[in-house]
């Protein structure tokens, strides 16, 4: 193939063109086209082979419902006797009595057990009130409490040992003392029974706002009644009178406040 590139000088124009001859055929190429081709080729040669970028990483799949957050505190290794922490203690009874705990045991509100956010199941701790010094030893067999600032939930039996069933919550020191194996697993503990020697409360009201509960407590105190505020795991603050040694005395207290609090009723301790 014979190719020839020669300048062309049209008689009527000052522009210089070029003729490209291929096998006796002529093609006219403007200078601008040649310049663009040269620049494009130089730029491509300078960049080299285009790099291929990986697509952006896919976001992690959402954790299935009920999965434990990676930031959630996990059960720790066994702690040495003497390990301790300070915080708020609460207690739980009904309606958890007879239900399975996080360890698989059946919760017995009359046993000396507790729920803790992270201590290994079977850890025995001493719980000591920081105001009165009253103390009790319990075995961890459940998870909780799930309210900010609280470090341990005692069973009803453990709460009565240190007077916590009256206060509802209190500041404590929790100290590890050892380990204990759980008792042989039973199908379920017997139903909670109100015994003759138990105590009684007058339930005045349950409030979702602790401030309202405190105002009700102050109003009852102004009327000469001894009222306490008990904070439960259901996030309700219960205002109660008592405790009273028998149902008759509790009923008498309910009668005194019936005009102002017609919804008040008598409930056994632990209820």
Higher pLDDT, 121 or 46: 121
Q: Are residues 93 and 161 in the same domain?
A: yes
Judged against a pLDDT cut of 90, whether residue 229 lies above it is answered with: no
Residue 38 located in a structural domain: yes
Q: Are residues 161 and 122 in the same domain?
A: yes
For the stretch 133-175, pLDDT in tens is: 999 999 999 999 988 889 999 999 999 999 998 878 999 999 9
Question: What is the CATH number for 132?
Answer: 2.40.40.10
Q: Confidence class of residue 76 from pLDDT cuts 50, 70 and 90?
A: low
Judged against a pLDDT cut of 90, whether residue 96 lies above it is answered with: no
For the stretch 168-197, pLDDT in tens is: 899 999 999 999 887 766 555 555 554 444
Angstrom distance (rounded) from CA 255 to CA 51: 86
The parent domain of residue 243 ranges over 200-268
Q: What is the dihedral of CA 207, 212, 216, 217, to 10 degrees?
A: 90
Tell which of 119, 145, 179 closes a domain.
Answer: 179
Angstrom distance (rounded) from CA 184 to CA 71: 34
Judged against a pLDDT cut of 60, whether residue 208 lies above it is answered with: yes
Region 89-103: mean pLDDT is: 89
Residue 186 located in a structural domain: no
Q: Confidence class of residue 233 from pLDDT cuts 50, 70 and 90?
A: low
Overall pTM > 0.75: no
Number of domains into which the chain is organized: 3
Judge whether 265 and 253 are in contact, CB under 8 Å. no
Question: What is the CATH number for 206?
Answer: 3.30.70.1070
Parallel, antiparallel or unpaired: strands 135-142 and 113-115: parallel
Q: Are residues 102 and 156 in the same domain?
A: yes
Counting residues of the chain whose pLDDT is more than 70, the rounded percentage is 65
């Amino acid at each position: 193939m014979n190719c020839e590139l020669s300048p062309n000088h049209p008689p009527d124009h000052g522009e210089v063109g070029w003729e490209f001859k291929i096998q006796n055929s002529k093609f006219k190429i403007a200078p601008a086209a040649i310049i663009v081709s040269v620049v494009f080729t130089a730029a491509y040669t300078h960049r080299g082979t285009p790099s291929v970028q990986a697509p952006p990483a896919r976001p992690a799949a959402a954790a299935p419902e009920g999965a434990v957050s990676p930031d959630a505190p996990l059960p720790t290794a066994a702690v040495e006797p003497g390990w301790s922490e300070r915080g708020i203690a609460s207690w739980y009874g009904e309606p958890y009595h007879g239900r399975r705990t996080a360890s698989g045991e059946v919760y017995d509100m009359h046993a000396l057990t507790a729920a803790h956010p992270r201590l290994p199941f079977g850890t025995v701790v001493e719980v000591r009130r920081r105001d009165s010094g009253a103390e009790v030893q319990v075995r961890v067999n459940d998870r909780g409490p799930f309210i900010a600032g609280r470090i341990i939930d005692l069973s009803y039996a453990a709460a009565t040992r240190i007077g916590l069933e009256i206060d509802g919550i209190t500041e404590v020191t929790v100290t590890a003392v050892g380990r204990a194996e759980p008792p042989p697993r039973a199908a379920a503990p017997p139903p909670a029974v109100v015994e003759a020697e138990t105590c009684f409360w007058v339930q005045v009201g349950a409030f979702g706002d602790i401030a309202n509960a405190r105002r009700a407590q102050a109003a009852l105190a102004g009327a000469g009644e001894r009222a306490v505020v008990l904070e439960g795991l259901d996030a309700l603050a219960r205002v109660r009178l008592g405790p009273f040694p028998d149902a008759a005395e509790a009923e008498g207290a309910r009668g005194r406040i019936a005009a102002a609090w017609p919804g008040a009723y008598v409930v056994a301790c632990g209820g």
